[in-house]
């Protein structure tokens, strides 16, 4: 049992730590013996060697951290042109020596209120979004892509108490893949709802999300499900992503083993409902951790379909680096088991610069105004923390 003021003491100690949502609360990782900053030249070596270390059957026999969007593109041979960037690391992983269980209700309140700037600059206004939207709509009509996610970024200059923000966020918007990292000059907090990889022995699953509906007083989960099933655009978007994730899994799974385990359910969050499915399969013999990561990342549900050609279209269009957004956070155990999410609904604060990135899917039936507004709905729960 941890001390009552443990989180407060840890937060004020300046010692790096990570909190990750678990089935029955949260797991806290700290006392890091290694910190590996990833580059395009060392990422493959890191992934390969992370599962060759001798396991002592400890819960800390793992590396935990994140892959950024850019490094995952490079890993699968997709190039990104030079963009405006914070020059934030492409990925960082830590070897913890301490793991503690935390309750669902995190007992932390900031000892002093930090006044944050709640005025955010958006990098694409409504008019600019419409131009990009129309361009991609033409790409869909010409068959270059079937679905594509337009990313918008909200940013400001703010000093934040990451633990305070995270605790308030999970109180109002708990998500199954929520996490936070706090280190010397950066923090990431996220209420990500989307699991990309859960691997246990030879079983691997993924839980794609495609479909978003703003909450109102007149809606509940039953009515939201009825909406998704009847809405042609949302159903088409969901089916495309499910098919793509099945295809990604089929590259690394035994023939005939890939199945839809949970089809088209609704999950409820603070400001919206999501349309989700669960897909699983049995891995082929001799599939490595690197094979899995190359097949599954970046997560297709936040990119579009088909993945590679759509990534190329996005990377030609986008003027700013995504940094951690649509990368993946999670862990690789020494025994090869792993769990990774997709980094969405997240705040990156680096050298007192905050970024909140969001994206909505464009298919042939999409409406520019609706998709632009959907992006704002997704960002709202995070921007509200700054008020």
Domain ranges of the chain: 6-386
66-104 burial, b at 16+ Cβ within 10 Å, e below that, comes to: bbbbbbbbbbeebebeeeeeeebbbbbbbbbeebbebee
C-alpha 322/C-alpha 345 separation (Å) is: 13
* Per-residue model confidence as pLDDT tens for the chain (387 residues): 566 688 989 999 989 999 999 988 999 999 999 999 999 999 999 999 998 888 888 999 999 999 999 999 999 999 998 898 899 999 999 999 999 999 988 878 776 666 677 789 999 999 999 999 999 999 999 999 999 999 999 999 998 999 999 999 999 888 999 999 999 999 999 999 999 999 999 999 999 988 888 899 999 999 999 999 898 888 888 888 899 999 999 999 999 999 999 888 898 888 889 899 999 999 999 999 999 999 999 998 889 899 999 999 999 999 999 999 999 999 999 999 999 999 999 999 999 999 999 998 888 888 999 999 989 988 998 999 998
C-alpha 45/C-alpha 164 separation (Å) is: 36
Which pLDDT score, from 0 to 100, does residue 3 have?
A: 67
Which pLDDT score, from 0 to 100, does residue 299 have?
A: 94
For 6-386, the fitting CATH number among 3.60.120.10, 3.30.70.260, 3.20.20.100, 2.30.30.100 is 3.60.120.10
Which pLDDT score, from 0 to 100, does residue 119 have?
A: 87
Q: Which residues of the chain form beta strands (DSSP E)? A: 17-22, 25-37, 62-67, 91-102, 121-122, 147-157, 179-182, 186-190, 195-200, 203-206, 209-214, 259-268, 272-282, 304-305, 328-333, 338-341, 346-350, 353-362
> 137: which residues sit within 8 A by CB, 6+ positions away?
362, 364, 366
User: pTM for the whole thing?
Assistant: 0.94
Which pLDDT score, from 0 to 100, does residue 118 have?
A: 77
Which pLDDT score, from 0 to 100, does residue 173 have?
A: 87
C-alpha 59/C-alpha 290 separation (Å) is: 22
Which DSSP symbol is given to 194?
Answer: -
């Amino acid at each position: 049992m941890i001390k009552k003021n443990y989180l407060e003491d840890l937060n004020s100690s300046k010692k790096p730590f990570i909190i990750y949502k678990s089935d029955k609360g949260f797991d806290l990782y700290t006392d890091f013996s290694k910190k590996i900053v990833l580059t395009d030249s060392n990422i493959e070596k890191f992934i390969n060697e992370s599962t060759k270390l001798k396991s002592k059957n400890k819960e800390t026999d793992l590396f935990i951290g994140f892959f950024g969007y850019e490094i995952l593109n490079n890993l699968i041979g997709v190039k990104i042109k030079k963009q405006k960037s914070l020059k934030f690391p492409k990925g960082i992983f830590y070897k913890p020596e301490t793991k503690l269980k935390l309750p669902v209700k995190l007992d932390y309140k900031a000892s002093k209120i930090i006044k944050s700037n709640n005025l955010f600059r958006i990098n694409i206004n409504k008019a600019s979004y419409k131009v990009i939207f129309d361009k991609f709509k033409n790409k869909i009509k010409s068959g270059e892509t079937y679905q594509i996610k337009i990313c918008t970024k909200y940013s400001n200059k703010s000093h934040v108490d990451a633990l305070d923000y995270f605790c308030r966020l999970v109180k109002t918007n708990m998500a199954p893949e929520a996490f936070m990292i706090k280190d010397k000059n950066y923090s990431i907090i996220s209420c990500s709802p989307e699991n990309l990889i859960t691997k246990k022995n030879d079983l691997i699953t993924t839980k794609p999300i495609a479909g978003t509906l703003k909450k109102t007083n007149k809606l509940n989960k039953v009515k939201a499900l009825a909406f998704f099933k009847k809405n042609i655009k949302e159903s088409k978007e969901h089916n495309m992503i499910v098919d793509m994730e099945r295809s990604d899994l089929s590259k690394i799974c035994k023939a005939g083993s890939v199945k839809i385990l949970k089809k088209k359910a609704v999950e409820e969050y603070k400001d919206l409902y999501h349309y989700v499915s669960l897909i699983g399969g049995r891995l082929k013999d001799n599939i490595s951790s690197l094979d899995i990561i190359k097949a599954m990342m970046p997560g297709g549900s936040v990119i579009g379909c088909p993945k590679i050609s759509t990534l190329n279209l996005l990377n030609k269009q986008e003027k700013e680096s995504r940094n951690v957004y649509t990368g993946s956070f999670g862990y690789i155990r020494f025994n090869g088991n792993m769990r990774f999410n997709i980094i969405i609904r997240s705040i990156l604060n680096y050298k007192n610069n905050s970024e909140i990135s969001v994206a909505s899917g464009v298919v042939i039936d999409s409406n520019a105004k609706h998709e632009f507004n959907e992006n704002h709905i997704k960002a709202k729960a995070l921007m509200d923390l700054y008020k």
